[in-house]
Structure 1
Amino acid sequence: MGSPLLDAIGARRSYSVVTADAPGRAELLPLVQAAARAADHGALRPWRLIELRGEARAALGDAFVASAGLDGPAAAKLAAKPLRASLLIAVVASRRSSDKVPHWEQDAAAAGVAHLLSLLLEDAGWGVMWRTGAHTRTGPVRRVHGLADSEELLGWLYVGGIPDTAKPAVRPPLTPTDFLTSLPL
C-alpha cells in the first residue's frame, strides 16, 4: 500500500530541459521554510540559498568562463549554461563553528535542504535539476556568489516549467536488499 509521499518520491525525476516559467519569490518562501525541516544535528542551519534570476545568471556564466580561461565559441557556450533555466537556486553549505557537528555533517544538512526543496518544487509542479560541475568551487564562481571563507557551494537547482514534451523518467528499479544490509556480527 503506497502513500502519497512514497508515490511522489518514487515519481521524482530530474528535468534537464525546462521552460522559461519559474516560481516567484512568494511561492519559494514557504517551500524553503518546509525544506528547513531537513535533518540538522545541533539545529545549526548550516546552509543558505541564493536566487539567481535575470542578469545574475549571465554573471554566473561570465564566472564560468573566467574560471575556465576560455574565449571564442567555447566561452559563449559555457557562458550560456546558467541561462538554461529562468531560476537557479545556489545551494551553499554555510558552515558554523561547532565542537559537536563536523563540517561534513553540516554539508550533509545543506544537501538535505536542497533535496527536500527539489522534491517540494516538483510537487508544486516545477521541473528541477540539481547541477554541479567543474566550475562549482572555483574562485570566480565563489566571488560572484559572495561566499564567505566558511562557505562552500554545493551546486544549483535549475528550476522552470515542465515542457509538454518531457518524457517520463527512466531509471531502472534497484533491488533494495543490495543497498540495505545488516551489520555483520
Structure 2
Amino acid sequence: MVGRRRSHSKVTDQAPSHPELLPLVAVAARVADHGALRPWRLIELRGDARRGLGKAMVEAAGVTGADADRLAAKPLRAELLIAVVASRRDSDTVAVWEQDAVAAGVAHMLSLLLAAQGWGVMWRSGPLVRTQPVHDAHGLAVSEELLGWLYVGGVPTDAKPGVRQAIDPADFLTAL
C-alpha cells in the first residue's frame, strides 16, 4: 500500500467525519517523538472555516479582483483540510527542528493512514503558510508554526494511477 501512495490534487466532496479521524490521529501520534513532547496539533477546517482561510490568504497576498477570487477558492478544493501545526515546547534537550520533524511525521503518517482507508490526500503548503493573516486565521500561538494542510476527500472514479519515477535505493542509502 505505501509503495503505491500518491497525492491526489483533485478529490470529491466526500470526507471522513471527525469521529472517523480520531482513531487515525491516535495511530499517527505513534511516530518517533524524542522526549515525548507531542509538539504538534491538527486543526480541522470544514465549511466556512475554509472560506475564512481563503480570505486570510487573499489578505496575506494583497491581491484583488479575479486573482483574489482564485486564491480565495483554493481552500475549497476539498471538503476537509487538516492544518498541520508544529506546536513547539520549551525543552533543553529537544531542538526546535526535531519538534518540527515530529509534526511533519505525524502529518505524513496521517496521510498514509487516510490513503489506506481509501481517501484522497494531498499535502499543500506554499508562500502564504507562514504569513500573519494565515497564522491568525488558525488561532496559532506565538510558539506555533503552520506547516501546511492535508487536503482530504474522496478519490475520483476517473483518477489515474500516480506515476513516480523509481529510484535506485543504493543512491540514497550509503554507509559511513
Amino acid in structure 1 at the alignment position of 2:23: P
1:172 and 1:71 map into 2 onto residues whose CA distance is 39
In the alignment, which of 66, 69, 92 is matched to residue 73 of structure 1?
66
1:125 and 1:178 map into 2 onto residues whose CA distance is 32
Query: Who is 1:23 aligned against?
Result: 16
1:10-159 matched pairs, under 5 angstroms? 10-159=3-152
Q: How many residues align?
A: 176
1:90 and 1:166 map into 2 onto residues whose CA distance is 24
Query: Who is 2:168 aligned against?
Result: 175
1:146 and 1:119 map into 2 onto residues whose CA distance is 27
1:4-15 matched pairs, under 5 angstroms? 8-15=1-8
In structure 1, list runs of 5 or more residues that go unmatched: 1-7
2:127 and 2:92 map into 1 onto residues whose CA distance is 31
2:127 and 2:13 map into 1 onto residues whose CA distance is 25
1:9 and 1:111 map into 2 onto residues whose CA distance is 17
Q: TM-score, structure 1 length as denominator?
A: 0.95
Matched residue SS, 2:148: strand
1:66 and 1:166 map into 2 onto residues whose CA distance is 33
Displacement of 1:125: 0.8
Matched residue SS, 2:60: helix
Supply the RMSD in Å over aligned alpha carbons. 0.4
Query: Who is 1:4 aligned against?
Result: none
Displacement of 1:68: 0.5
Q: TM-score, structure 2 length as denominator?
A: 1.00
Matched residue SS, 2:167: coil
